Amino acid sequence: MLIRKQADIRPSEITSEKNYLNRRAFIRAGALFGGSILAPPAISAVVPDERGARLAKVRKSSFSTDEAANSFEDITTYNNYYEFGTGKGDPYRNAQDFDPLPWTIEVEGHAEKTGTFDLEDFIKPFDLEERIYRMRCVEAWSMVIPWVGISLADVVKHFKPTSKAKYVAFETLNDRKRMPGVRRGSLDWPYREGLTIAEAVNPLPILAVGLYGQVLPNQNGAPIRLVVPWKYGFKGIKGIVRMRFTEKQPETSWNMAQPREYGFYANVNPNVDHPRWSQARERRIGAGIFASKQPTLMFNGYGEEVAHLYKGLDLRRNY
């Protein structure tokens, strides 16, 4: 298997924002002229082995924001991924030699279909979609990222959870040898996260296997990670190796570590401050040192799609 380091990727292989957005505009225009352009026959998701390889047969999604995406450099060099270090630049520096293949995902719990699946078999039944999402970090910074992934709702339905399944829990790889951050006591490893079943079958969440049209870089959670755009970034568990359907609310890593600061729901909410800073405004990475912060949007701007999930729930207590 050919492994290419970041320095081996030629600039011509990284789509510029201008060309990327122009291509989106072209496809959108084509959809207005003839909707069949955006509705190809169902195809199996395929992720190449080569680092930095382009992903083929990616369907454009109507869920994408019209905002300009952050640059590839922004997205891949400024990350939270504690398994590779606590600094924002640590994942890029420390994950370059990590080999994410072969990879398996174990599915267990209250579902009709369970077992251990090779990554290829796990994603094969689904379509690859590009979804450009606003992403908001709890530290009050944000990005717009062009993810490529498979619908989590489709994945959940594929495994047929039973009536006992109220939540879906995720765990990441726990590898002290290859992940230097795991050798430190910053969290109780492995990293754990979870969603309610209602959240998981909402159309927005995806399991991402790529960004900017290419295979997901190590520092962004290769080979597969969760993306939930209306929640703070720590809900987006990376390097998933286990998916469990549970009756009880699962424990989640940051809530276990600091329950006063990090709740299970973690919905983006400008009206609920973090105990140590305000969440009312955010700084867009890449906007420049003189750019002012912008107001944080409730549910990160996805309220129309998700607010009904929390009807009657006190979002100040259930943060």
pLDDT reading at 4 higher than 60: no
User: 6 lies in a domain?
Assistant: no
| pLDDT bucket at 197, cuts 50 / 70 / 90 | very high
In whole angstroms, give the CA distance from residue 50 to residue 37. Answer: 29
Contacts of 31 (CB under 8 A, 6+ apart): 37, 38
The tens digit of pLDDT for each residue in 268-310 reads: 999 999 999 999 999 999 988 788 999 999 999 999 999 999 9
The domain in which residue 201 lies consists of 14-310
Neighbours of 279 (CB within 10 A): 19
Looking at residue 43, its pLDDT comes to: 64
Looking at residue 42, its pLDDT comes to: 54
State the total domains in the chain. 1
Residue environment code for 35-48, b if the CB has 16+ CB neighbours within 10 A, otherwise e:
eeeeeeeeeebebe
Bridge partners for 211 per DSSP? 147, 214
User: 2 lies in a domain?
Assistant: no
Residues 70/285, Cβ–Cβ less than 8 Å: yes
pLDDT reading at 313 higher than 80: yes
In whole angstroms, give the CA distance from residue 149 to residue 151. Answer: 7
pLDDT reading at 139 higher than 60: yes
In whole angstroms, give the CA distance from residue 295 to residue 248. Answer: 35
pLDDT reading at 1 higher than 70: no
User: 7 lies in a domain?
Assistant: no
In whole angstroms, give the CA distance from residue 319 to residue 313. Answer: 10
pLDDT reading at 30 higher than 70: no
In whole angstroms, give the CA distance from residue 105 to residue 128. Answer: 18
Looking at residue 290, its pLDDT comes to: 81
User: 319 lies in a domain?
Assistant: no
User: 144 lies in a domain?
Assistant: yes
Nearest to 266 by CA among 146, 135, 165, 147: 135
Bridge partners for 182 per DSSP? none
Nearest to 241 by CA among 138, 141, 101: 101
CATH number at residue 232: 3.90.420.10
In whole angstroms, give the CA distance from residue 168 to residue 21. Answer: 34
As a three-state string, the secondary structure of 95-135 is CCCCCCCCCEEEEEECECCCEEEEHHHHHCCCCCEEEEEEE
